[in-house]
Structure 1
Amino acid sequence: MARRLLHPRRWTPQQLADPGPTGPLTVRHRLPTGDTGPEDVVFDHTGRIVTGTADGRIVTLDPETGERRVLAETGGRPLGLHARADGGLLVCDHDKGLLEVRPDGTVEVLVDTVDGVPLTFASNVVESSDGTIWFTTSTSHWDLENYLGEALEHTSSGRLLRRDPDGTVTTVLSDLKFGNGLVLSPDESHLLVAETTGYRIRRHWLTGRTETLVDNLPGFPDNMSLGSDGLLWVAIAAPRDRLLDRLLPRPGLLRLLVWNLPDAVRPKATPIAWVMAFDLDGRLVHDLRAADGSYGFITSVTEHDGTVVVGSLTENDIAVLAHLPG
């Protein structure tokens, strides 16, 4: 299949800072999902892990025994998840849009168009106590298989959207650099939004103001979660690519050349397993990394009562991490 034409936009990232102290990321055990690509992981109201796989299934797993149960099948590609107190879920499905999965496993489409245009690449979702749903889209131009195109093009076409209880959908932010992970603060005063290709996490106050919480990250932030420890846990899918950082401010022809290289020689994500955790003032608390091949391309992380679990777009299993250092 021919590749989509690239329309590069210039952007100058900040100079990559020297890394500070890091700790080891150690996998305690793996939990098979029955398929591949558990892109997001969350804990449900019973303490079981919930994830979606590439074959469209939503599965729950016991974090200790690995006992697996299929909750639902979306018929698409589930990505970001939000667990409801009643045992149901909200699901961002790459193919289907924003979905509701009821406790009995039935699936309903909540949003599949925005302003008359099909909803594309829904990424992550949270819900407030009054039933308002907030969700992100990563890009309006690319699909999951060709996400590298968005990194090279840098169109900043990701969005933050709101679905009110009456079903009205409103675009809140429309300039996100690959909108991704989404967290609602405990007091529901603001949202935290990961911009994967912007190397940052933004804070959007529900009163309307938006600011940067963490900037100039050393890698690509993906899904995020608020742990029971009160920390903002952030999956870092891969380290920043120094070649990409050099190309982004330059004429787009150079990125066009890279995009048209054969797959075998195009830039690829550095294999690493990496998560970070911040307090809600943006101060770094944990920076855990492993490059031993024990796990890779982490796209989600969640913590519950001291248990840290990670998921990946490319692995077949979920990984439960060893106890945190210190």
Structure 2
Amino acid sequence: MKKLLALLVMLLAAAAGYLALTPSPIDPLPWDAAPAPEMTGVLEPNDTLMKAELLARGQVHGPEDTAVDGQGRVYAGLHDGRIVRVQEDDSLETFVDTGGRPLGMNFDADGNLIVADAYKGLLSIDPQGAIKVLTTEADGLPFAFTDDLDIASDGTIYFSDASSRFEQPDYLLDLLEARPHGRLLSYNPASGETRVLLDGLYFANGVALSANEDFVLVNETYRYRITRYWLKGDKVGQHDIFIDNLPGLPDNLQGDRKGTFWVALPTPRKADADFLHRHPWLKAQLAKLPRALWPKAIPYGFAIALDEQGNIVRSLHDTSGTHLRMVTSVKPVGDYLYFGSLDNDRIGKLQIH
């Protein structure tokens, strides 16, 4: 018993020495988040996501976002850099391999698939699979984490660079550091100009235009909020908070251009995460540890719908996290919603009622 206790003391001393001597990969700030909203009313948990049809189950790894072409074929970007197309018999066809990590995607008016690739920048892929790099930097600062996009009727692409400091594998370090490294940008395909619309965002993620394109929204994942940037009207060039204190971490964002925005929430809020944010020293120590020792996300499926006034009007849940978990995108197409996930092995398809 004494030998066991001595060994335990030695291990604890070694761990303490490691933490004391190892520099942290982050320089965290404290943040005091407001209490999470109660899961009542429109947020009341339900089993709606359990009713979703599952596409390509077991054939995909991390279909983070999806897109549907004019023929109704579903595309998804995977961890290994491929963008795959789901066939009628539910088999997969590789459309293209970007050599990076394809994230947000939408088709433009000419049938090109516009992709925010975490490593490669903003891409345009024609129907034959030819890849064109549209832009990789703005104001002299390269994109470190190109994330999501939406396309206006005039062809302008609005997109996000989630973090100028941390690349995609280290997105959780950006969460712990709690500093604003994100940007909202626009790309003009006619002139080739890339503009920074907003910087200083806390992990700029999902991007979506309003129905009449008078404003564009961008998710600030690590502040549990959505920011609005005005494109037209008296407030053009200004920004404000569209909705704050969301019940989960907002990931991708997509409007149906009829007045509804769908927000993917990969995980509900956790009280211990909000507690951790108030203590930067603890965050600095946690960042030194192997990821296997970090707190885990709640296995849960979650998405919400917002109106154009920033009100939550509907929520979809998989409380078990067994059917559709860690939802990172919701794509409204016709009468259906398509669900992507950063680390699941399936794509969800749900008819809207």
Q: Does the alignment reach a TM-score above 0.5? A: yes
**C-alpha separation in 2, matches of 1:202 and 1:188:** 15
TM-superposed CA distance for 1:11, in Å, is 2.1
Residue in 2 that maps onto 1:175:
200
> Residue 216 in 1 paired to residue 216 in 2?
no
Is the contact between residue 24 and residue 285 of structure 2 (CA under 8 Å) also seen in structure 1? no
Instruction: Kindly indicate whether residue 146 of structure 2 is the aligned counterpart of residue 122 of structure 1.
Output: yes
Identify the residue that residue 276 of structure 1 maps to in structure 2.
304
Structure 1 residues 304 and 145, CA gap change in structure 2 (3 angstroms):
same
Residue 259 (structure 1) aligns with: 287
SS in structure 1 of the partner of residue 250 of structure 2: strand
Q: Deviations along 1:138-190, whole A, 9 cap, x unmatched? A: 11111222211111101111100112231121211111111111111121111
Work out the CA distance in 1 between the residues paired with 2:125 and 2:61.
Answer: 20
Match in the other structure for 1:14? 34
Tell me if 1:320 matches 2:349. Answer: yes
* Cα shift readout 1:44-72 (whole Å, capped 9, x = no counterpart): 2333222111122222225x753543322
Please report the RMSD computed on the Cα atoms of aligned residues, expressed in angstroms.
2.0
User: For 1:84-131, what per-residue CA distance to the aligned partner results, in whole angstroms no more than 9, with x for missing partners?
Assistant: 132211111111111111121100111122233332100011222222
Once the two structures are superposed, the pairs formed by residues 177-326 of structure 1 within 5 Å of their partners are 177-206=202-231, 207-227=236-256, 230-250=259-279, 252-292=280-320, 293-321=322-350, 324=353
In structure 1, the residue matched to 2:17 is none
Secondary structure in 1 aligned to 2:147?
strand
- Which amino acid in structure 1 is aligned with residue 317 of structure 2? R
Which structure has the highest helix share of the two?
Answer: 2
Can you give the 5+ residue segments of structure 2 that lack an aligned partner in the other structure? 1-21
- Structure-1 residue corresponding to 2:63: 38
Give the Cα separation in 1 of the matches to 2:329 and 2:352. 18
| 2:57 is aligned with 1:57 | no
The answer to whether the 8 A contact 1:229-1:304 is kept is: no
SS in 2 for 1:150: helix
Secondary structure at the aligned position of 1:238 is classed as coil
The separation in 2 between residues aligned to 1:44 and 1:256, in whole angstroms, is 44
Identity percentage of aligned residues? 36
Secondary structure of 2:267's counterpart equals strand
Number of residue pairs matched by the alignment: 321
The SS at the match of 2:173 is helix
Distance 1:23 1:102 in 2: 40
Mapped pair 1:5 → 2:25: yes
Paired residue for 1:92? 116
Paired position in structure 1 for 2:3: none
Question: Is the Cα–Cα contact under 8 Å of residues 150 and 158 in structure 2 kept in the other structure?
Answer: yes
Write the distance in 1 (CA, Å) between the matches of 2:207 and 2:262.
11
Q: 1:27 to 1:53 in 2, by over 3 A?
A: farther
| Alpha-carbon distance, 1:35 to partner | 3.3
Amino acid at match of 1:133: I
User: Does the 8 Å CA contact 2:261/2:305 hold for their aligned counterparts?
Assistant: yes
Per the normalisation by structure 2, the TM-score is 0.85
Q: In structure 2, what is the equivalent of residue 81 of structure 1?
A: 105
Any conservation in 2 of the 1:200–1:216 contact (CA below 8 Å)? Answer: yes
Distance 1:269 1:103, change over 3 A: same
Moved more, 95-104 or 46-55: 46-55
Please report how far the alpha carbon of residue 229 of structure 1 lies from its aligned counterpart in structure 2 after TM superposition.
5.9
Structure 1 unaligned blocks of 5 or more: none
Contact 1:44 1:84 (C-alpha < 8 Å) held by counterparts: no
- Tell me if the contact between 1:202 and 1:213 (Cα under 8 Å) persists in the aligned partners: yes
The amino acid of 1:81's aligned partner reads M
The alpha carbon displacement at 1:283 in A equals 1.7
Contact 1:194 1:221 in 2 (8 A): yes
Bigger Rg, structure 1 or 2: 2
Q: What SS does the aligned partner of 1:239 have?
A: coil
Amino acid of the residue matched to residue 315 of structure 2?
Answer: D
Higher strand share: 1
